A and B are shown apart, each in its own frame.
Chain A
Amino acid sequence: DQQVKQNSPSLSVQEGRISILNCDYTNSMFDYFLWYKKYPAEGPTFLISISSIKDKNEDGRFTVFLNKSAKHLSLHIVPSQPGDSAVYFCAASATNNDMRFGAGTRLTVKP
């Protein structure tokens, strides 16, 4: 029962360009969405989040967009840097604290 899906297992982007990572969800009860970043041999670290009352949240080079009607969110990284190369996980949470994760997308930023 995959309630959160990241359909692209990998993404390759040139340094300086925009990276767009996508995430789709099925459960309309989700009201809080998070993105995590994971380097090899490390646990995921929190990156950015967005509440369902917003459609955009920006933090430096990272922006998360939420389209509730489409049950879709995306993470934009601009400009992309080689240090951004990692696996990015999308997660969704409901008010009862249930949380579901996507399978991750590996981003490679080429110099």
Chain B
Amino acid sequence: EAGVTQFPSHSVIEKGQTVTLRCDPISGHDNLYWYRRVMGKEIKFLLHFVKESKQDESGMPNNRFLAERTGGTYSTLKVQPAELEDSGVYFCASSQVGTDTDTQYFGPGTRLTVL
């Protein structure tokens, strides 16, 4: 079974540019989460989709970040315009709805560098 995939693995952009990160969850997983790891420390929650609906977006830092999940399959996270402090590693995770363990399967992350 394929795991969670993220694209690209690395992205280097200049301040003011736009970047779009993509996450493909495990097939059949309705829950999709985005996280960010900044300064090499702990990860921070960004938002949670259930299918195509945003269940919780309390972690989104500001309106320069836009997440979508049209059709309830893959998700994109767009940063526009990017700022220096947006640099970090962005992780995506997915899980099934209604399981006992609420196990989240994480993707490998996208490392974003804003110059």
Contact = CB atoms under 8 A, between A and B. Distances in A.
Does B associate with A?
yes
Contact of B106 (A41, A93, A101, A106): A101
B45 interface: yes
Main secondary structure of the interface of B (DSSP, over half): strand
Contact of A38 (B37, B55, B102): B102
Contacts of A20: none
A36 B40 CA distance: 15
Contact of A98 (B3, B35, B45, B108): B108
A99 B89 contact: yes
B106 A100 contact: yes
Main secondary structure of the interface of A (DSSP, over half): strand
B102 A97 contact: no
Contact of B42 (A10, A36, A42): A36
B103 interface: yes
A106 B101 contact: yes
B106 A97 contact: no
Given A36-B43, A44-B43, A99 B102 contact: no
Contacts, number: 67
A62 to B, nearest CB: 14
A41 B102 CA distance: 9
A103 B103 contact: yes
Nearest to B44: A43
From A34, A40, A99, name the one whose CB has the most chain B CB atoms within 10 angstroms: A99
Contact of B104 (A1, A89, A93): A89
Contacts of B35: 43-44
Given A34-B42, A97-B89, 16 more contacts: A9-B101, A9-B103, A10-B100, A42-B56, A46-B42, A49-B42, A87-B104, A97-B40, A99-B43, A99-B89, A101-B104, A103-B103, A104-B102, A104-B103, A106-B102, A106-B103
Interface of B: 3, 33, 35, 37, 40-46, 48, 55-56, 59, 89, 91, 93, 100-106, 108-109, 111
